[in-house]
Every structure is written in C-alpha cells, then in structure tokens.
Structure 1
Amino acid sequence: MIPGIILFLIFFIGVFGYIYIENYNLIDAFYMTSITLSTGGFGEVKALSPHGKIFTSILIFSGITVVVYTLGNVTKFFVEGELKSYLRWRSMDNKITKLKDHYIVCGAGRTGRKIIKDFLKKGLDFVVVEKDEKKIEKLKDIYRKKLLYVIGDATKDETLLQANVKSAKVLISVLSTDAENLFLTLTTKDLNEKIQVITRAVDASSEKKLRRGGADFIISPFEIAAERMVATATQTNLISFVDVFSKKSRIEGLTFELVEIKKGSQLVDVTLMEAKIPTQTNLIVIGHEVDGVMKINPMSQERLKENEKLLVLGTKDQIKKLIEIALN
C-alpha cells in the first residue's frame, strides 16, 4: 500500500512539474509523466528545456526506485510466506465471524493458558485475545490449528469486535492489572450488554469498582487460596469430598453443570418428581434456582419454572441429554 501511495505522489509531482516547467497542458503532462515513469522509450511531446531535462532525469530515477522497492515487497510477500500467513489469518477471521455463543479469553498469561488448556479439553468454542505476539506464537506451537486468536489490545473496541464480542456469551478477563480488567469490562458491556463478564481481581479493594463496571463474577485468586488453606486446616473431610471432582480425582468424566430451562420445555411448570430427571438422564440433581437464588437439595415437590437453572452432576453425554430436554 505504501509503495502505491508513493508512486501516486511521484506521478502527481511529474504532471504538475511538466505543467509548471514546460508549460504543457494537462493531457501532454499526463502523457509525458506516463512514458517517463514507465521508461517506455516513446518520443517527447516537444523538445525539453534544460530544466525540463533535469526534472525528467530525477523523475526517471525516482520511478525506478519505487518500482524496485515495490517488486521487492511483492517478492517478499510471496516468497517469505507472508501470503500464506495472510490467507491463514483470513481463514481464521472467517471462522471467528461465524461463531455464536462462544467464549472470549483476554490474556494469555499463566491463568489464561490454564483456561485455554481446559477449554480445549472440553471442546468449547473460544477466541484468545492477547497483545503480546510472542505469547500467541508459543500457544500456536503447542495447539497448532486448534487455536482461534486475535492479536491486539483487548481494551480497544476494534479488537473485541474482531473477536466477535457481539455474538459471544462469556468474556473472561485475566489481564495483568485491575485497571485493565476494569476498562475491559466497561468496553465489553458497552459493546454487548448481555454478555457475561468474569474477571480477576488482583487487589481485593478493586472488587467494588469491577462490580460497578459491570462484571458479573469477580474472582480473587488470593482470597480463594486463603479460604482453601483455612478449609483444609479446619474442614478436611469437606476438602476431600471436593477433591473427588478435581483434576486429581480417580472418578473421571463427572462434572457439575447449570442447565437452563427454556420456554416451551417439557420441564416448565412440573415438579422435580414429575420431571423424572434421574430416570431419563441418570443425572444427580444437586439444586435448582428459585427466584435467582440457588437452592441445594430441593424437595421432590419443588415446581420448575421457565428460565430457571438446574445444578446437576453427571457425564457430558448425560448433561447433553438434559439440555435437549430443557430445550424442548
């Protein structure tokens, strides 16, 4: 693009120069500039003055320099793989544009990399946003073509739009500072007010600001670590139970999931007993949402409502079956 702009400017200067120096009309000046820059070897419109000959010589050398520079860039584009990189980027951009209800992970530090790894294991659709190209290159070396990413500042509108934020359902912000996480939350909510924002609070005092900024969930790693240590020291049996479902568990394939009951579902306005969820899916119903509050160990006579959520425990296939029931 830059060589093209330079060539246009030289052409414009050439036309103006012939009009000013040789008193050519616009057509003659345009013709003379064209044959000079193209080194076509055609005759001059009329004999040039000494000043005209100097100007023409400068114009020829300028044109040749720009052409050589342009050819060098074109060769580099094709030979050094930039065309391949461009086509790969266009293909990935098209894939991101087609995503719907996907996740966006902003930040590819230690926490971000762990989230990416877990998302890939779960087979979720997500886009990574990271401004440090070196971090993206490391991820590409590990995950190859599985990774969809955008290189850019996550706090800027154009970067989030490139990650298709308007069609995403959840954005996870794990940037390095609370200020960046807050600004990202504000920007995200401005572009998509329905999206759910999960952000990290490095400093506990920032939680209120992040909440005011529109964050739906705020995770404080230090507080979680402290609570876990206290619980380990005072509630060993509880921690052992939780560890059953952690990555170190021997019971594989089980997971907790929140399943929303959609409008028109057969689960709307029926009791848990009538729904027969364990019979139909083999899932364990841990709880269900009542007026926005999760009620654990609900009674069998509890009546389910539209848009409520069921907290269940089971395998991916069992959960998938319940989702289908909750939709129809």
Structure 2
Amino acid sequence: MAQARRKPSRFRLPRRTRSHWQAPRARTLFTRPAASPRRVLLQRLLLVAGLCALAFLVLYLDRDGLYDANRKALGIIDLMYFTMVTVATVGYGDIVPITARARLIDAFFIVPIRIVIWFVFLGTAYQFVIQRVIEEFRMKRLQKQLLDHVVVCGYGLSGSVAVRELLESGFDPESIVVIDPQQPALEAATALGVAGLLGDPSREDLLQQAKVRLAKAVIISVTDDATAILLTLTVRSIAPDTKIVVRIQEQTFQRQLRQAGADVIVSSTKIGGLLLADAVESNHIVPFVNDLLSARGRVTLLERPAAEHEIGCWSNALAGAVVIGLVRDGRMLSFYEEPPCLVEAGDLLMVIQSSRQPQE
C-alpha cells in the first residue's frame, strides 16, 4: 500500500559528463566612463583645491613653527607659497619647519595630502589619456577579428542565459560581444571571456563599434519592449542582412517588431505560460523540453542541412535522429501534416538527435 501511494518520481534525463566551460580570465575590452569627463575633472579639481586649502589652514595655525631666512614673520602669501611648493614636492628650502610640532605636521599630515593629490593626478592621466589609448588599441584589434560573430544587446536574465548557452554549444568566446549599460552586468559577462561594450545598446556608435553589419546574428534581450523595437530599427538600418533575434514580454508588439525588421521573435511570457500549463497535467513534458533546448541535454533539437549519407533515405528512417520538420524550397514539411518523403540535397532538417550517439 505504501508503494501504491507513493507519487511517481519526476522524470530526469541523465546529463552528459562534459565539464562546464570556464573562461581563462576576466577581461573587459572596451569601457566608457559612466560620468561625463568634464564632471569628473571638476570633481577632482575641487578635491585637490580642498586638500590644498586644508593644508594651508593647518600651516597657518602653526605658522610660528616655520622659519624664513629672509623674513622674520610669514604672511599669507608666504604661507600660500610654502603650501603649494610643499604639496608639489618642489621644496626650495627657503622656508623650513623648525619646531618638533611643525615637523610632525609636515610628516604625518602634509605628506599624506601630497600623496593623495599625486594619486588624483596620476589616476586622471591614466583614465583620460593612457587608458583611452589602450582601449582604442584593443578595440581596433578586436574589430579586425569580428566576423560572423554574435552581438548580445542586454545582459539581464535572458541575455546571460543566451550567452552561456552559446558558449556551451561551442561558440568561441571571442566571437561574442555583449553590450550593456550596467557595469556589474558587463563584468559578469566579460568574466566568461566574451568581449564587452559598456553603454546603451541602442546607441548607433556602439553598434558600429560592435560591427553588427558583419555579425552573424544580433540578440536583443532588453527589459523594455519599446526599447527592443527601437533597437531593432537601429540595428536593421545599420545591418540590412544581419539576423535579428528579439525577446519580448508582450505579444502585442510582434507586428511592430516584424515591421521593424526582426527575423525571430521569442516571447518569454508565452513560452513560460505554456510550460506552466503543460506541467499541470504532466510530469515529463517540461523536463524533457528543457533538456531538449539545452546544449548540455541528453537529446538536442537541431536545425541543420541534410548530411551526404542521409540523402536518398526516408525522412522517418534516419539513424540516430527523429525528423520533425523538413524545409525544401522555402516550404515546411512537418511530420504531422505531410507523409514521409525521401531526403534530397539542399534540404534543411529539424531533428531531435541523441547526443549520446556520435553522428555518422
């Protein structure tokens, strides 16, 4: 009785023993500053001015501990002069600290201010000069290698899954470019070894840098459907022949996306709802579909040209594969509407193929 009452175990397909792909190192090939350069420079200039004013105030309060060989008393101009030459590490030696307190102030207060100011100057020079030169060089080298690559616009939940699935299916990490406006998301993407562009994916200059015209496909996985339509229009205007795959949430935008130039439209809301409904009456369909669509699944859903050894065979009798659809001269021949037919050269097959058996 206990065994009769036991619920049937959930259907699970065994996985391949292949280990997960791991990137050798994290890298970001090209980044843009989040704030405008003028604003960053203004903030840093105000910081340096504030530190110099603080150093001047401390030296003014302890001006009796300073000695000038030419004057008995130090005025405001003398203290401003001494502050600037001290912070700039020039040190002409005409004004020197003579008391123990003045020397301690110079050692433990002025010197740290001097170090901070120099770090600000060096960081600004690196960010706006050296780093830009390095990034431009790396970007030009990357652009020379971009051909038949995949551009992923948006690295959210769907975009990250798409990138990992591309890597699992055998795509070279250097042939994937991710564009995202969020620095943490881009860092997570480049940690997989792919190239990254930090910025709004709807900007035409970033799409030009990603060379969408030469791309194999562009995956648009942004959070807003209206932005997806705008991005589709922008990509299509730049790359008339590139395949565009768009993820949307609302079914009502499919017509607009078709008019904008989208080749494939994936409705995550509809697909998720269908799987949820199927799971009510079944225990095996959802795990099987997930396994079927995953590159690491035991079975794989493929769209591929007919192999040479398959030409002349019946579509329902291919070894190691189940043909569910056949495209011939632009016409779909599905197994549930058309009788089995002989496979011809140039046919495009949609098959469910076991990854356990090697292809002959």
Normalised TM-score (structure 1): 0.60
More divergent stretch after superposition (78-87 vs 184-193)? 78-87
Please give the per-residue CA displacement for 1:270-321, whole angstroms capped at 9, x wherever unaligned: 43359x963xxx5554432133325238866424243x311232449956x7
- Code of the residue aligned with 1:292 in structure 2: it is R
Change (3 A) 1:147 1:237: closer
Structure 2, unaligned runs of 5 or more: 1-36, 38-117
Give the total of aligned pairs. 239
The amino acid across from 2:300 in the alignment is T
Q: In the alignment, is the contact (CA less than 8 A) between 1:166 and 1:191 conserved in 2?
A: yes
CA distance in 2, matches of 1:160, 1:80: 23
Report the residue type matching 2:147 in the other structure. K
Contact kept in structure 2, 1:96 and 1:163, CA below 8 Å: yes
Question: What's 1:256 paired with?
Answer: 301
Classify 1:240/1:170 alpha carbon distance in 2 versus 1 (closer, same or farther; 3 Å): same
Q: Is 1:293 the equivalent of 2:332?
A: yes
Q: 2:185 aligns with which of 127, 135, 141?
A: 135
Distance 2:133 2:162 in 1: 27
Report if the CA contact (8 A) 2:150-2:218 is conserved. yes
C-alpha distance after superposition, 1:221-268 (max 9, x if no partner): 221111111111234454454355366x9x85542221136xxx8579
Whose helix fraction is larger, Structure 1's or Structure 2's?
1
Alignment match, 1:272: 313
Deviations 1:45-91 (A, max 9, x none): xxxxxxxxxxxxxxxxxxxxxxxxxx999954776797367435633
SS at structure 1 position matched to 2:292 = coil
1:304 aligns to what? 344
Contact 2:246 2:264 survives alignment (8 Å): yes
Alignment check: 8 A CA contact 2:292 2:298 kept:
no
Contact 1:130 1:151 in 2 (8 A): yes
Identity over aligned residues, as a percent? 19
- Tell me the equivalent position of 2:96: none
Per the alignment, residue 108 of structure 1 pairs with 155
Distance in 1 (CA, whole Å) between partners of 2:140 and 2:163 is 19
Question: 1:95 corresponds to which letter in structure 2?
Answer: L
CA RMSD of aligned residues (A): 3.9
Amino acid at match of 1:287: G
The equivalent residue for 1:67 is none
Equivalent residue number for residue 195 of structure 2 = 148
Deviating more after overlay: 293-302 vs 200-209: 293-302
Partner of 1:219 in structure 2? 266
Deviation at 1:127, TM superposition (A): 0.8
| Letter paired with 1:199 | V
**Cα distance change of structure 1 residues 240 and 159 upon mapping to structure 2, 3 Å threshold:** closer
Greater RCO, CA 8 A, separation 6+: 2
Structure 2 residue identity aligned to 1:122: S
Question: Is the 1:288–1:295 Cα contact (8 Å) retained in structure 2?
Answer: yes
CA contact (8 A) 2:232 2:261 kept: yes
**Residues 189 and 196 of structure 2 are in contact (CA less than 8 Å); yes or no, is this contact kept in structure 1?**
no
For residue 171 of structure 1, report the CA deviation from its aligned partner.
0.8
Note the C-alpha offset of 1:214: 1.3
CA distance in 2: counterparts of 1:239 and 1:108, whole angstroms? 25
Contact 2:220 2:247 (C-alpha < 8 Å) held by counterparts: yes
Q: Would you say the 8 A contact 1:96–1:148 is kept in 2?
A: no
Tell me by how many angstroms 1:139 deviates.
3.2
1:135 to 1:86, Cα distance in 2 relative to 1, 3 A: farther
- Structure 1 gaps of 5+ residues are 3-70, 322-328
CA contact (8 A) 2:150 2:219 kept: yes
Assess, with a 3 A threshold, how the Cα gap between structure 1 residues 85 and 158 changes in structure 2: closer, same or farther: closer
Aligned-pair CA distance for 1:173? 0.5
| Aligned CA distance change for structure 1 residues 241 and 254 (closer, same or farther; 3 Å) | closer
Any idea what SS the aligned residue of 1:119 has? helix
- Quick one: distance in 1 between partners of 2:243 and 2:356? 23
- Counterparts in 2 of 1:103 and 1:234: CA distance versus 1, 3 Å: same
Q: More deviation in 209-218 or 118-127?
A: 118-127
Separation of aligned partners in 1, 2:356 and 2:145 = 25
